[in-house]
Chain A
Amino acid sequence: MERIIFYILAAVIVTFSFLSVTSAKILRAAVYLFLVLIGIAGFYFMVGYHFLGAVQLTVYAGGIVVLIIFAILLTEQIDNRLARPKAGMVIASAMLALLGIGVSVYSILNHVFDKKIAGQLATVDDIGTKLLSFDAGGYVLPFELISILLLAAMIGAIVIAKRPIR
Chain B
Amino acid sequence: MGLEAIIVFFIAGVIFVGGAMIASALLAPKSQNSQKEDPYECGIPTEGPTHVQFKVGYYLFAILFLVFDVEMVFLIPWAVVMKKVGGIAFVEALVFLVILGLGLLYAWKKKALEWE
A residues near B74, Cβ cutoff 8 Å = 131, 143, 146
A67's partner among B62, B85, B96, B100 (CB-CB below 8 A) is B62
Q: Does A18 contact B (CB under 8 A)?
A: no
Closest to B72 in A: A58
B77's partner among A51, A62, A63, A147 (CB-CB below 8 A) is A51
Complex contact A70–B96 (CB within 8 A):
no
Q: Does B88 contact A (CB under 8 A)?
A: yes
Please judge, given known A-B contacts A70-B59, A132-B88, A154-B107, whether A144 and B69 are in contact too, CB under 8 Å: no
Q: Mark A74-109, 1 if CB is under 8 A from B, else 0.
A: 111011000000000000000000000000000000
- Report the interface size for chain B: residues with CB under 8 A from the other chain: 51
B residues near A76, Cβ cutoff 8 Å = 53
Please judge, given known A-B contacts A153-B67, A154-B107, A158-B107, whether A67 and B59 are in contact too, CB under 8 Å: yes
Total number of A-B contacts with CB less than 8 angstroms?
139
Q: When chains A and B are docked, how far (Å) is the Cα of A4 from the Cα of B51?
A: 42
Q: When chains A and B are docked, how far (Å) is the Cα of A134 from the Cα of B103?
A: 26
Give the dominant DSSP class at B's interface. Answer: helix
Complex contact A74–B59 (CB within 8 A):
yes
Complex contact A1–B103 (CB within 8 A):
no
Q: Mark B41-67, 1 if CB is under 8 A from A, else 0.
A: 000000001010110111110111111
Complex contact A64–B81 (CB within 8 A):
no
Please judge, given known A-B contacts A143-B96, A155-B106, whether A124 and B80 are in contact too, CB under 8 Å: yes
Query: Measured between C-beta atoms, what is the minimum distance from A1 to chain B in Å?
Result: 5
Closest to A157 in B: B63
A residues near B58, Cβ cutoff 8 Å = 70, 73-74
Complex contact A147–B64 (CB within 8 A):
no
A147's partner among B81, B84, B96, B110 (CB-CB below 8 A) is B96
Q: When chains A and B are docked, how far (Å) is the Cα of A147 from the Cα of B74?
A: 10
B106's partner among A2, A147, A154, A161 (CB-CB below 8 A) is A154
Complex contact A161–B112 (CB within 8 A):
yes
Q: Does A24 contact B (CB under 8 A)?
A: no
Q: Does B20 contact A (CB under 8 A)?
A: no
Give residues in A with beta carbon < 8 Å to B. 1-2, 4-5, 8, 46, 51, 55, 58-59, 62-64, 66-67, 70-71, 73-76, 78-79, 124-125, 127-129, 131-132, 134, 140, 143-144, 146-148, 150-151, 153-155, 157-158, 161-162
Sorted nearest first, the 3 A-B pairs with minimum C-beta distance are: A128-B77, A128-B81, A147-B99
Give residues in B with beta carbon < 8 Å to A. 3-4, 6-7, 10, 49, 51, 53-54, 56-60, 62-67, 69-74, 76-82, 84-85, 88-89, 92, 95-97, 99-100, 102-104, 106-107, 110-112
